């Protein structure tokens, strides 16, 4: 039955006509987006009309359907043309959230969820490692739920997704009672072992079965601009970044949006500010050290803004992510060098501890990124489950100590203490600024070294304990991620020439960090009185970051550049040869080697990576 007065004017919104029932879809500005509204519950007209008005403002194909089979058919028929979003007709949220959910650049299947034990277990979900691991519906149950689904699912493109939907046709046809399809579609995708990302809301985002005038009034009273800004901020930052830097960067972000600055322009500006700070540190002058300390804080505030602008505008890319991450490393290494150079002007040789910090940070970051990636593969590995099975496969304990640690994270003070121990970039740069204000590079290096070493020990113990419980087959070990980072030369390439996967073991994630500790540690240990070795160290450390970013994105380091880079064992052998007198003087050999590796690993590799990402976009 088709109402005659819907799809015209509501609450000041002029909207395009929307077809109800089995009629054709109406095209709006976003021709590649199909939105299906699940109105099996037949919610009251004002609630449904409000939702369809919000969707129409955002744009796209809109269809309101009343049966599970009709909804599934619409999703299948439109999924070949692009992503399809299914929204529960009772969803009440802000226009800003609707915009974000429909316009967001999600690359996979996704479902809207709210954190916490669900009040309705037919809407339950279990989420871990940024993956939805289990989803409920009217007839399916979730073990140990941690989230509640909020009434929106985005079905991505791809043959595997289409096959899962086709396979579910016969099951959906047997349903005799109304079953919310936003929940059932999430269950279909997860039980087909397809990746589903969790989308968390900002502000009011609830679904109602009848009419809740008070909730609607409160949802409409929200400031859309505040919601957009809140969503632009990172939700998992460190303590100092969350409570200080992000509050300041929000102002820069508003200015950047007003001036139409791009995220990459902001990234480059942050790099330039940090470069000036490093130059000021090189003078060793107390007043200029203080000015450099201020610029360090300004640089990281601006650096926070690039990501905020990207999230606010939805303009993001692999190129921008790589540029942001790569310049972070360049800035930090340059600041360490500036402090060491300035200290040398006053007769203090801090080059070795500066190099040791580069080694420590490289080992830590590679460990962080690789462990998280491998954990995501192993602990988020899904096993296909038949839709006729009422309850999912259950959950496994991570061990009593780790389970206790996880439960303690629910306490706010424990959570933030752990974040400080982790020593993220905000805390590190705060230590740099404090030391510079005190006129003491020694303070910076000593505190960063001690705190960094403690943080590395703390997280490594937890990761080793967690890894001990992994018992996955090689094909779901994630070993390909770390194998792409081995950087073996012609002497050790035989190690994996037989096609074996030695890093498929549970501790394989640590291999790149160990190799980097050996190679970079050797340079730092020898070059106490040869500060030009910092250039060699910087180039090789940058190379390992670059290789890691490529591996995480699914790319190999180019073979031609890999040959020019010689491989870890050849580079180490050359360095030892130079150090024991095979080349004289040692500083000349270090200079030549540093310039060569800088040209290969920083200049040539960056140019190649930028071209590759640009052509991919």
**The pairing of beta strand 91-93 with beta strand 84-88:** unpaired
Distance (Å, rounded) from C-alpha 193 to C-alpha 161? 10
Of the candidates 234, 262, 38, 286, which has an alpha carbon nearest to the alpha carbon of residue 155? 38
Distance (Å, rounded) from C-alpha 514 to C-alpha 391? 42
3-state SS class at 333 = helix
Q: What is the per-residue pLDDT across 347-383, written as a single tens digit (0 to 9) for each?
A: 999 999 999 999 999 999 999 999 999 998 888 888 8
Of the candidates 182, 149, 187, which has an alpha carbon nearest to the alpha carbon of residue 171? 187
Backbone angles phi, psi at 68, to 5 degrees: -65, -40
Mean pLDDT of the region 429-449: 95
Q: What is the per-residue pLDDT across 443-500, written as a single tens digit (0 to 9) for each?
A: 999 999 999 999 999 999 989 988 888 877 777 788 889 999 999 887 777 666 666 7
pLDDT of 2 higher than 70: no
Distance (Å, rounded) from C-alpha 546 to C-alpha 496? 22
| Assigned fold of 9-226 | Spore Coat Polysaccharide Biosynthesis Protein SpsA; Chain A (3.90.550)
pLDDT of 514 higher than 50: yes
Q: Which residues of 8-30 are buried (b: 16+ CB within 10 A; e: fewer)?
A: eebeeeebbebbbeeeebeebee
Active site residue 328: yes
The single-letter DSSP state of residue 556 is: P
Q: What is the per-residue pLDDT across 193-230, written as a single tens digit (0 to 9) for each?
A: 999 999 999 999 999 877 778 899 999 999 999 999 98
Distances from the Cα of 82 to the Cαs of 23, 27, 258, in angstroms?
A: 20, 14, 32
- Predicted TM-score (pTM) of this structure: 0.86
The predicted pLDDT at position 490 comes to 74
Q: What is the per-residue pLDDT across 227-270, written as a single tens digit (0 to 9) for each?
A: 999 888 877 788 999 999 999 999 999 999 999 999 999 999 99
Burial of 148 (0-12, 13-18, 19+ CB in 10 A): buried
Tokens (6 digits) for 438: 């005190």
Give start-end residues of each CATH 3.90.550.10 domain in the chain. Answer: 9-226
Q: Which residues of 73-111 are buried (b: 16+ CB within 10 A; e: fewer)?
A: bbbbebbeebbbbbbbbbbbbbbbbbbbbbebeeebbbb
Give start-end residues of each CATH 1.20.120.1760 domain in the chain. Answer: 233-314+323-342+397-468
Of the candidates 144, 548, 566, which has an alpha carbon nearest to the alpha carbon of residue 557? 548
Indicate which residue of 99, 328, 392, 487 is catalytic.
328
What residues are paired with 84 via a beta bridge? 34, 155
CATH class for the region spanning 233-314+323-342+397-468: mainly alpha
Distance (Å, rounded) from C-alpha 98 to C-alpha 51? 9
172-176 long-range contacts, CB within 8 A, separation 24+: 172/68, 172/69, 172/72, 173/69, 175/68, 175/139
């Amino acid at each position: 039955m088709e109402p005659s007065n819907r799809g015209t004017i509501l609450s000041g919104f002029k909207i395009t006509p929307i077809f109800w029932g089995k009629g054709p879809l109406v095209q709006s500005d976003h021709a590649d987006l199909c939105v299906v509204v699940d109105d099996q519950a037949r919610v009251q007209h004002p609630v449904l009309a409000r939702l369809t008005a919000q969707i129409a403002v955002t744009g796209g194909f809109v269809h309101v359907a009343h049966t599970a089979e009709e909804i599934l058919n619409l999703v299948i028929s439109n999924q070949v043309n692009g992503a399809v979003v299914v929204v529960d007709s009772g969803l009440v949220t802000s226009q800003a959230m609707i915009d974000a959910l429909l316009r967001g650049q999600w690359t996979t299947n996704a479902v809207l969820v709210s954190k916490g034990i669900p009040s309705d277990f037919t809407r339950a979900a279990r989420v871990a490692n940024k993956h939805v691991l289990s989803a409920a519906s009217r007839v399916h149950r979730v073990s140990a739920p941690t989230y509640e689904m909020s009434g929106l699912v985005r079905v991505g493109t791809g043959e595997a997704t289409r096959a899962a939907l086709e396979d579910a046709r016969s099951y959906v046809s047997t349903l005799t009672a109304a079953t919310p399809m936003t929940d059932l579609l999430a269950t279909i995708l997860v039980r087909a072992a397809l990746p589903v990302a969790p989308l968390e809301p900002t502000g009011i985002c609830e679904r109602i079965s009848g009419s809740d005038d008070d909730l609607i009034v409160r949802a409409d009273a929200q400031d859309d601009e505040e919601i957009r800004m809140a969503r632009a901020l990172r939700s998992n930052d460190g303590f100092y970044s969350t409570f200080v830097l992000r509050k300041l960067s929000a102002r820069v972000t508003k200015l950047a949006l007003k001036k139409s600055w791009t995220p990459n322009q902001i990234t480059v500006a942050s790099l330039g500010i940090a470069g000036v700070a490093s130059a000021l540190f090189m003078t060793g002058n107390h007043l200029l050290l203080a000015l450099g300390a201020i610029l360090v804080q300004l640089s990281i505030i601006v650096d926070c803004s690039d990501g905020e602008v990207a999230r606010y505008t939805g303009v993001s890319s692999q190129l921008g992510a790589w540029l942001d991450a790569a310049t972070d490393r360049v800035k930090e290494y340059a600041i360490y060098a500036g402090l060491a150079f300035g200290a040398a002007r006053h007769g203090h040789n801090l080059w070795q501890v500066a190099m040791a910090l580069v080694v420590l940070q490289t080992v830590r970051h590679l460990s962080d990124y690789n462990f998280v990636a491998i954990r995501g593969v192993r602990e988020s590995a899904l096993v296909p489950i038949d839709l006729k099975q009422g309850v999912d496969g259950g959950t496994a304990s991570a061990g009593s100590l780790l389970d206790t640690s996880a439960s303690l994270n629910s306490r706010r003070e424990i959570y933030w203490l752990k974040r400080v121990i982790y020593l993220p970039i905000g805390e590190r740069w705060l230590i740099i600024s404090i030391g510079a204000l005190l006129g003491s590079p020694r303070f910076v290096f000593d505190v960063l070294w001690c705190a960094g070493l403690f943080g590395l020990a703390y997280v490594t113990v937890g990761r080793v304990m967690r890894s001990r419980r992994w018992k996955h087959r090689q094909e779901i070990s994630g070993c390909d991620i770390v194998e792409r980072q081995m950087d073996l030369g012609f002497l050790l390439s035989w190690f994996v020439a037989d096609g074996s996967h030695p890093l498929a073991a549970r501790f394989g994630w640590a291999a790149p960090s160990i190799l980097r500790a050996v190679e970079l540690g050797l340079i730092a240990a020898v070059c106490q009185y040869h500060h030009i070795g910092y250039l060699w160290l910087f180039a090789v450390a940058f190379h390992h970051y670059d290789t890691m970013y490529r591996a995480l994105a699914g790319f190999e380091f180019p073979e031609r550049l890999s040959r020019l880079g010689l491989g870890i064992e050849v580079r180490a052998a050359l360095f030892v040869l130079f150090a024991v007198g095979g080349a004289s003087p040692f500083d000349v050999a270090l200079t030549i080697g540093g310039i060569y590796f800088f040209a290969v690993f920083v200049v040539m590799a960056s140019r190649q990576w930028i071209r590759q990402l640009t052509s991919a976009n």
